[in-house]
Structure 1
Amino acid sequence: MKILKFNLYTLLCAFMIAIVFNSCSKVLDEAENLSQYPPEGVFNDPSQSNAYLANLYSSSLPNSWPVNDGNSADESGGITGADAITPNSSRIFWPYQAIRKLNIFINSIPTGTLPDATKSNLVAQAKFLRAFLYFKTVVYYGGVPIIKEAQGLNDELKVPRNSTAECFTFIESDLNDAEAGLPPKYSGNDRGRIDQATVKAFRGRVLLYKASPQFNSANPYDNQYWATAYQANSEAKAFLDANGYGLLDKYSDIFTVKGNKECVLSIIGLNPGKTNLRGDDAVRPLSESKNATGGDQPIWALVQAYPMLDGKKITDPTSAYTYNEQSFWLNRDPRFAQTIVYNGAPFALSGKAGRRQYTMKNIASSLDAFGFAIQGENSYRTGFFTSKGLNLALPAPPTTSDYDWNEMRYAEVLFNLAESANETGNSNESLAALIAIRKRAGILPGADNLYGLKAGMNRTEMRTAILDEKYLEFAFEGKRYWDLRRHRLFATKLNGIHKYGMMATTVNGRTADQLTPADINGAAAYSLLPENFGYTVTELITSGAKAMVVPDTYYFFPIPLDYINQNPNLKQNVAWGGTFNPEL
């Protein structure tokens, strides 16, 4: 029996606001009501069932890039101060309203009159979405209540937390069911729908977390779950390879070329209606934006982390390239120039050919400058911006970029395989994955064809190399904080650190108070080059806390007190004064 198809266009129409497509008007009119109070007969009608499912996609998956997620890690500016996370604040994720809608759909579709193959396909997509939400909730808190039946709107959620082990089992079961009901790969107008490739890749992510030190602090790297994670990620890579996925040749195209072979799970941008998923307006320098403050500003630690062109660290005396702090941009990993915008760097925003980005006081727009007594102490600058994922051609303020957000891409599967392979005695596969990533980046192979990687790394060294490489490959893609948390590295990587930027302090030997008309005119004509300036590493300017406060209690967040007050059967995590152990 043929599966009744609905394409991505229909999906998007169901949850885009203020757009008029004649072919989707009925779906738009019905989607909101269907998501809350599905009337009798909804699940007998294919268009109404698809409208309901479209709403579930919107409420279950991320809707955009995670702008400023790096503020809580060592990627970008922003200081996590004391009590940033408490039982009453921050990092709250409690998706039971969306789970209720998913349960309605999962339990109602089989009772309708749609063809059996259609029912199986729709339920499979919904089960993936439910697994996605439960996984994120477990990563936040550990075990949470497993609810499989849709409660009434007036029912009270008075159930206790399931163990973390039970939750992982439930998530894996939903993923297995989802995979059984889906085709191998969607493409064309159906791109963006959940398929087997998505499920397999995501299962690898889930099982990597299950094996991680976050959930197994007493036995972080020799527990039984690593073998299962390795098997899942091996299968995911093999399946993706067989179905045309792989690393894209050009790193920067990953974020600007829609539907490329690296995209496994994409949130589709569509112009008009679902645009600016990158948050271009929030990430651009304020001089090329509007009412935004320059999100995702790289800090000096990230800038330093990029290796030289031969893949060697900037501190490695065996590198063929000499690193100099006053010319820090020269001969670096090509991903550096495709991610980091520094003083004097080409940055042709708003279609301005030849435009360069300046950050020096009295040379740059005061909105962009990193210097003392400019923005005020509450508006930090780092001396850097990022170009990653931005649509440079859009005029200011940018609001119409239809670039996608890639929630999962092939490179993540390689990293997940590399980690699990390293912990199961298969470090040769880990090395192969890192070489593939570095080769695609454009790093030179070297005489040993190791692309700057150390030969004969032991297990600990390889583990560090994997995390270091992922730090760069996925900068500003919402991975770093969670990777450090997953490996329980807050104490060594985040807690107590200070954040720094690079301040351009002179131009042609003159300070900001000694500038000549030629200096000003050179900036206006974009003729001042990075090497015309002098630089000083400077701590970020802010009136708030200077040191990051990221204690070990953050490895699992507290259940919000509002929810505990509503449901006394919810037990708080042990690190937050409760009795519930969130580990396996």
Structure 2
Amino acid sequence: MKKIIKISIISLALLAGHGCDDVLDVENVSALDPVAVWSDETLTNAFLARLYQITMPGAWPLDAGNSDEGYGLLAANAITANGHPFATFGGYYSDIRQLNTLFTEIDGGTLEEDFKNEIKGQAHFLRAWTYFNLVVRYGGVPIIKNVQNLEDDLQVSRNSTGETFDFIIEDLDNAISLLDGFQGSKGRINEAIALAFKGRVLLYKASPQFNPSNPFDNQYWSQALTATETAMNELAQMGYALESNYANIWSNENTSEAVMPVIFSDPDRLNGRRENCVRPLSISKNCTGGDVPVWNFVESYPMADGYQPGDVNSAYTYDMATYWENRDPRFYATVLYNASIAEFEGVAGRRIYLEESVGDPVDVFAPGVQIGDAKTGFYCLKGLEIDLSQAEVETNDVDWIEIRYAEVLLNFAEAANENGRGAEAIQVLRDIRQRAGIEPGAGNTYGIASGMSRDAIRDAIYHERYIELAFEGKRFWDLRRARRLHTQLDGLRKTGLLPDLKAGANPADAATFSLIPTDFDYSIEDIVTGVEPVMVTPESYYFFPITQNHLDENPNLEQNADWGGTFDPTL
């Protein structure tokens, strides 16, 4: 793969901030002068930079609490037609209006055709990205291709879900065509990103979320297979591959796995994950914690040979008293557990203690104690810059990888399995586990048996995504896509693992980091939240309601059927 310079969004955003404010005021469409803006590559790039800023992820996701990964829960009435945490309907249409401004105006200038096509290609992707975020939340939505002015009829109706998917794919096909051979700087949308995203989109289209009456034998799975296989093969030819060491994915800014990175650079653009919110609070500041793993998630990791804890085929005996021993190497790259070594601030051999008699009070998990955010006996390590001092924690600028090559492979595996190519799906799982450092075992199976049924392979793929993509903002949406939200999350009690210093162990040894995990006993305990720690995720959550304020503004918008309306959001 060619070496890519780390500029893109950051450089363009800085450019946009110098003397271009009037040009970027796209709310006032009449103020745009096509001759000035669309005849100047600098101004056009500045306009495009603004589109990136408003449409692309602006930070690492912090939504593990919506699934079975982290602390937090969707409780009763978390989602209503009057408001909910995923209610972004109007905001997305504001973005679409600005994207449509580009398509409406760009041909009025004198830009070189090749440059103009590169700009259009990126804008087609950004519009597809925006409509995809709408369709996975609501189902079919109004398709608007032109800038709506005040004199236009703004009382638009919803297009069908099938029409919305078709429009997204049309935009992506345009992006792929226009960006053929375009590399751009790191972080800019290119052909590889569009190919990979098309595979994700068609995987959703074929999924049980959109096809509840025929979840695995519908006509769309062949489309998903074509798209995901094309993405996998073409990206491999471009040089994309699995990072050799899973633990290095986030620290290696030139990783071959970063298909769609969102670039951050201190001090110009920080990643918003705010390391101060994720690391233990005793070495943080100005935050109350986030992305705290729960025991439900931690116990789901395979053993070092790829078999689940307690599986008779595993070479390792599992005991909760030593739950951290002989686990999948991805466990150690993701989870910070009691008395584990984590050399924050560059302190050699440093261990973090999460037990109340030896740990810092703001870090520990203790019965009935609620200090800051809820504690679970664990913290998340993925994406942290642990060498940062406490004073520097807000400067974390680790790039966010929205699409990793591992996801591209897993997307193909899922589509292959549903199209009768289970052996290829199994091989993908083994390849990913080989990279993870799991022991091959007899026959190089990596804990994934040959000859499994389609249902068993499907379950294995979903579980592998759970582990491989942990805390990457994928789990909640995967469970919705698979229609497993109500079967795996509804009624789930989230728990933590309570450490208790054993009799005879010397608490003073914590000062020299001499206490090790086996110096503690462990018990599963409910998390203290002030409310019943039970997830509420009924089947109505597979499509969210359009909030009442938007229905009031536009009587032609139909509400989704599960929310008192007549619109069917499925295919």
For the pair 1:169 / 2:166, whether they are aligned, the reply is yes
**How big is each residue's C-alpha offset from its partner over 1:28-65, in whole Å with a ceiling of 9 and x where there is no partner?**
65564357545212111111111000000111111111
1:83 aligns with 77
The answer to whether the 8 A contact 2:27-2:98 is kept is yes
The answer to whether the 8 A contact 2:16-2:50 is kept is no
Q: Which amino acid aligns with 1:389?
A: G
Q: Secondary structure at the match of 1:235?
A: helix
Q: Which amino acid aligns with 1:152?
A: N
The answer to whether the 8 A contact 1:509-1:534 is kept is no
Match of residue 536, structure 1, among 523, 542, 557? 523
**How big is each residue's C-alpha offset from its partner over 1:519-538, in whole Å with a ceiling of 9 and x where there is no partner?**
1x211221111111111111
1:71 aligns with 65
Q: Which amino acid aligns with 2:192?
A: A
C-alpha distance in structure 1 between counterparts of 2:247 and 2:20, whole Å: 35
For the pair 1:439 / 2:434, whether they are aligned, the reply is yes
C-alpha distance in structure 2 between counterparts of 1:116 and 1:276, whole Å: 34
**How big is each residue's C-alpha offset from its partner over 1:541-578, in whole Å with a ceiling of 9 and x where there is no partner?**
12112211100000000011111110000000000000
Mark the CA change 1:154 to 1:362 in structure 2 (over 3 Å): closer, same or farther. Answer: farther
The answer to whether the 8 A contact 1:383-1:504 is kept is yes
1:146 aligns with 143
2:222 aligns with 227
Q: Which amino acid aligns with 1:537?
A: I
C-alpha distance in structure 2 between counterparts of 1:82 and 1:15, whole Å: 41
Q: Could you tell me the TM-score, scaled by structure 2's length?
A: 0.95
1:527 aligns with 514
Match of residue 127, structure 1, among 124, 128, 131? 124
C-alpha distance in structure 1 between counterparts of 2:161 and 2:303, whole Å: 43
For the pair 1:468 / 2:468, whether they are aligned, the reply is no
Mark the CA change 1:361 to 1:185 in structure 2 (over 3 Å): closer, same or farther. Answer: farther
Q: Secondary structure at the match of 1:255?
A: coil
1:407 aligns with 402
**How big is each residue's C-alpha offset from its partner over 1:358-402, in whole Å with a ceiling of 9 and x where there is no partner?**
1101211110110024325x8421100011000111111412222
The answer to whether the 8 A contact 2:23-2:32 is kept is no
C-alpha distance in structure 1 between counterparts of 2:315 and 2:165, whole Å: 48
Superposed, 1:22-37 pairs within 5 Å as 26=18, 29=21, 32-33=24-25, 36-37=28-29
Mark the CA change 1:7 to 1:526 in structure 2 (over 3 Å): closer, same or farther. Answer: closer
C-alpha distance in structure 2 between counterparts of 1:11 and 1:434, whole Å: 34
TM superposition shift of 1:103? 0.1
Q: Which amino acid aligns with 2:46?
A: A
The answer to whether the 8 A contact 2:58-2:271 is kept is no
Name stretches of at least 5 consecutive residues in structure 2 with no aligned partner: none
The answer to whether the 8 A contact 2:60-2:271 is kept is no
Match of residue 11, structure 1, among 9, 12, 24? 9
The answer to whether the 8 A contact 2:135-2:161 is kept is yes
Superposed, 1:252-401 pairs within 5 Å as 252-375=247-370, 379-397=373-391, 398-401=393-396
2:557 aligns with 570
C-alpha distance in structure 2 between counterparts of 1:26 and 1:453, whole Å: 55
**How big is each residue's C-alpha offset from its partner over 1:322-375, in whole Å with a ceiling of 9 and x where there is no partner?**
111011000000000110110000111122222111110121111011002432
Q: Secondary structure at the match of 1:448?
A: helix
For the pair 1:159 / 2:153, whether they are aligned, the reply is no
**How big is each residue's C-alpha offset from its partner over 1:191-240, in whole Å with a ceiling of 9 and x where there is no partner?**
11111100100000000000000000010000000001001000000100
Mark the CA change 1:540 to 1:179 in structure 2 (over 3 Å): closer, same or farther. Answer: same
2:102 aligns with 105
Mark the CA change 1:325 to 1:7 in structure 2 (over 3 Å): closer, same or farther. Answer: closer
The answer to whether the 8 A contact 1:131-1:175 is kept is yes
Q: How many residues align?
A: 561
The answer to whether the 8 A contact 2:336-2:342 is kept is yes
Q: Secondary structure at the match of 2:246?
A: coil
Name stretches of at least 5 consecutive residues in structure 1 with no aligned partner: 1-5, 17-22, 511-515
Q: Secondary structure at the match of 2:445?
A: coil
Mark the CA change 1:167 to 1:30 in structure 2 (over 3 Å): closer, same or farther. Answer: same
Match of residue 448, structure 2, among 445, 453, 477? 453
Mark the CA change 1:313 to 1:11 in structure 2 (over 3 Å): closer, same or farther. Answer: closer
TM superposition shift of 1:120? 1.2
TM superposition shift of 1:481? 0.7
Q: Secondary structure at the match of 1:462?
A: helix
Match of residue 52, structure 1, among 43, 47, 62? 47
Q: Which amino acid aligns with 2:380?
A: T
Q: Which amino acid aligns with 1:26?
A: H
TM superposition shift of 1:480? 0.7
Q: Secondary structure at the match of 2:496?
A: strand
The answer to whether the 8 A contact 2:423-2:450 is kept is no
The answer to whether the 8 A contact 2:339-2:351 is kept is yes
Mark the CA change 1:282 to 1:28 in structure 2 (over 3 Å): closer, same or farther. Answer: farther
Mark the CA change 1:456 to 1:135 in structure 2 (over 3 Å): closer, same or farther. Answer: same
Match of residue 477, structure 2, among 455, 477, 482? 482
TM superposition shift of 1:539? 1.2
Q: Which amino acid aligns with 1:56?
A: L
Q: Secondary structure at the match of 1:538?
A: strand
The answer to whether the 8 A contact 1:266-1:408 is kept is yes
For the pair 1:423 / 2:415, whether they are aligned, the reply is no
1:116 aligns with 113
**RMSD (Å), alpha carbons:** 1.8
For the pair 1:186 / 2:179, whether they are aligned, the reply is no
C-alpha distance in structure 2 between counterparts of 1:359 and 1:438, whole Å: 30
Q: Secondary structure at the match of 1:524?
A: helix
For the pair 1:583 / 2:567, whether they are aligned, the reply is no
Between 262-271 and 574-583, the greater mean CA deviation after superposition: 262-271
C-alpha distance in structure 2 between counterparts of 1:542 and 1:295, whole Å: 14
Q: Secondary structure at the match of 1:406?
A: strand
